[in-house]
Every structure is written in C-alpha cells, then in structure tokens.
Amino acid sequence: MFQGFNKKTADAQKIFPSEIKLTEVADIGCIQKSLVHHFQEIKDPRVERTKKHQLTDILVIAILAVIAGAQGWEDMENYGISKKQWLEKFLALPHGIPSDDTFRRVFEFINPEELNRCFLQWVETLVTKMGGEIIPIDGKTIRGSYDRNQGKSALHIISAWSSEQRLVLGQMKVEDKSNEITAIPALLELLDITGSIITIDAMGTPTEIAKNIIDKKGDYVLALKANHPTLYNQVQEWFEKASAQQFQGIDVSYEKRVEKGHHRREIRQVWSVPVSAINNLYQPRLWAGLQSVVMVVRVRHLWNKTTREVQFYLSSLHSDAQLIGRAIRQHWGIENQAHWTLDCTFAEDACRIRSFHSPRNFALLRRIALNALNREHSYKRSLRQKMKRTAMDNDYMIQVLFSCFLDPTLDSSESLCQA
C-alpha cells in the first residue's frame, strides 16, 4: 500500500535536484513517515482490479484538500490537479490525480471505525498533559447528511473537546433511533480522562455516565435537567429558600463575573454547596462520587431585552464556585470553537455528502483539518485565513502538517528529519 510513497521520497532529490530544497525534503519525509504510521491500519475497500490509484495517495490528497478548504469530492480533485507538480515530489501518483468519483467511492466504503481508530491514535500524539483539563462532551447533527429517498436521517455525532488545547479528542456516531446518552459511555471508553473534568449538558444525563467517569478516575460537572423531576424540584426549591435567606449558616462558595462584548453585558453568578448542606437529598448515592450541587444564574442585557436563566449542576468536585464555574463556562467552547467553526468555516451543515459511510468519514476529515489548523500558531490570523493560506502556499501547508503530523514516538534516526 505504501510502496509508491517510499519510492518517491527516496528518489526525490535525484529526480528534482534543482527544485526541492534540502529542508523541504526533510520536512516532507518526516510528514510522510508519520502519515504512513498513523493510517497504515486502514484497509483498502476496493477490489484488486480497481486499484488504479494507491490508497495512501487518495488519503493524503483528501486530508490536504480539506485542510485547504475542500468541501466535496470535486474540490479534492481540483486541489490535486492544482498541486500536482508539488504532490509528485512525495506521492506515487502512478496514474495522475484521482478523479472525484474515485475519492467518493473510496470514502463511501472505508471502514469508519478503522479511520476513527487512526484519528484517536494521531490525537494521542498531539495532546500533552490532560490532568486537570476540562473536556466538554456534546453532540452535533450534520444537517445536510440526510437522504430522504433512502429513509436515512441526518448523522448525529458526539465529540469530546479539549478546551485548553483546542483539539477534538474523539467522536462517536449516535446510532439511528437512539440518542446521545447511549453514545457518551462508548466515547468515554475511547479516552484517557484520568484527572480531567468532564462536562456534559446532554438532556437526561443518566447516573451511569457519572459512574463511568469516576471509574476512569475523572471528575464531572453534569447539568441537572427536569427529566430527573424529584431531584430537580428538590434542588430548585432548596436554592430558592437558601437564596431568600442569603445562605445564612450554609457553607456556600460564591463567584460573580461580569462580561461585556458583542453588544451585550452578561452577569454570571455561581453558588456551590456540598451535598451535606441539602438535607435528605433524593438518592444521592445513585450519582457516583457526588460532592457538590451548583446553581448558576445568568442575566444577559442585550440592546433590546434582558434575559435571565437559572441552571443546576451536579459535580464530583469539592464545592468550589470558581473552579466549577470555569468548567461550566468552558463547556461552551465546544459550541463556539468547534461546532460553530465546523459550520461557518468548513460549511459542514451545508454539505450534502450522504451515501454509505462517506458522511461520517468526511466529518472525521474535517476534524483532522480543524485540529491541524489549530495546532499551527505562527500565523496569527483566523482559521479561515489559515485555511486559505494553506491552499495558496505549499510552504505554509508543510508548516501546518509539520506542527501536527510528527509522531515523537517514531525513531527520528529512521526518518528524513536529519537529512
């Protein structure tokens, strides 16, 4: 599968002595070795007689094209045609650039579980220290992936997001006729969350998820919703009474923050109390590791109206309004920095790719691109501008790839890094 890849790299300086700089050869060699390492487990879904193009070439061009802004199969082909002279320096391309139909057919039938495993292995090489990290978990529907003629509903994906490192850590498909609650435990099984704080705002967060997080030596901040009616009503009534009495005689932790921006002013207040402060709390043992109960009040002053929102949370953390409040605020990073970016920069919701495994596989390519662009810090511009520059500047594309596709576990003496 990787024969042509290695051949092109070994012969690159002989074939193009005047065109390739020594540093560029080294960079491409390191990136090539890492790409081969991360995606070697993917099995080629094609029958032997149809393998006109090497799978590695198809995968690499697809990843580069999506980083550069490709939104479909024709964009991938156009990127390959536009960059053919550059791609020939390190890819085999025995029959030139694959067609859009080739890209489509391959990604329709690549096993998404295999691609997801490769993605997780790659992310493990990117993350540094996860202890104390706040990891929001939330779902997103890819709205354009439905197929009415086939009776196929839109793809819904659960993702885990590293708030501090701004990386998608993993994703899990929500099966048809199911919901996020069944997918979250499966996603947690894929992640090492030791010492991390998991935040979840899913409707109806079950007690089993709290147990899963504690079993994996993590902590949680879970939204308490009205579909736990007895516990929700009890917590709501208790905080109303305690607030009316200004929490006199109660061991309460309090934080208040005022933020301004985007033509609005928001006042956020957080009250956190230990579980022992609420007498006869309804079945607290069902929530593994439960230590504190939290109320958050958000008052937003917009130009034309004022809104007030009250939410309750359960946490395995000690009663600390500042820490828990920060975790709750950073939960929305997955919406603002991941989901919003995927829709507005990568046009994910508008994408009508919908056949077989292609919606799920293309979604993973977007998350690879999102992580890659977020890892590159030298160009201080928006993600959209970074994307455009990778499409125009091959050197900057190498720089983006170099920042995220070098596996420190590989033996550098075997690569071209020291060429």
pLDDT tens for 40-95 read 889 999 999 999 999 999 999 999 999 999 999 999 999 999 999 999 988 899 99
On average, the pLDDT of the chain sits at 89
Measure the N-to-C terminal CA separation of the chain; round to a whole number of Å.
25
At 176 the pLDDT is: 78
CA–CA dist 64, 198 (Å, integer): 32
Band of residue 29 on the pLDDT scale cut at 50, 70, 90: low
The confidence band for 419, taking pLDDT boundaries of 50, 70 and 90, is very low
Pairing outcome for strands 219-224 and 197-200: parallel
Collect all residues with Cβ–Cβ distance below 8 Å to 282 and sequence separation of at least 6. Answer: 230, 231, 234
pLDDT score, position 262: 80
User: Which residue ranges does the chain devote to CATH 3.90.350?
Assistant: 117-341
Give the alpha-carbon dihedral of 120, 122, 124, 127, to 10 degrees.
-120
Share of the chain above pLDDT 70, in %: 88
Q: Residue 154 — pLDDT band, cuts 50, 70, 90?
A: very high
Which residue, among 412, 411, 418, 404, has the nearest Cα to 128 in the 3D structure? 404
Residue range 253-270, pLDDT digits in tens: 999 999 998 888 999 999
Banded model confidence at residue 213, pLDDT cuts 50, 70, 90: very high
219-224/306-315 β-pairing: antiparallel
- Confidence at 248, pLDDT banded by 50, 70, 90: very high
Please tell me the predicted confidence (pLDDT) of residue 129: 67
Interior angle at CA 139, CA 136 and CA 145, nearest 5 = 145
- Cβ atoms of residues 170 and 106 within 8 Å: no
Mean pLDDT calculated for residue range 331-335 = 93
Residue 40: the pLDDT is: 85
pLDDT computed for residue 39 by the predictor: 87
Whether CATH 3.90.350 fits 117-341: yes
Phi-psi region of 42 (alpha: psi -120 to 50; beta: other; left: phi over 0): beta
Average pLDDT over residues 238-255: 97
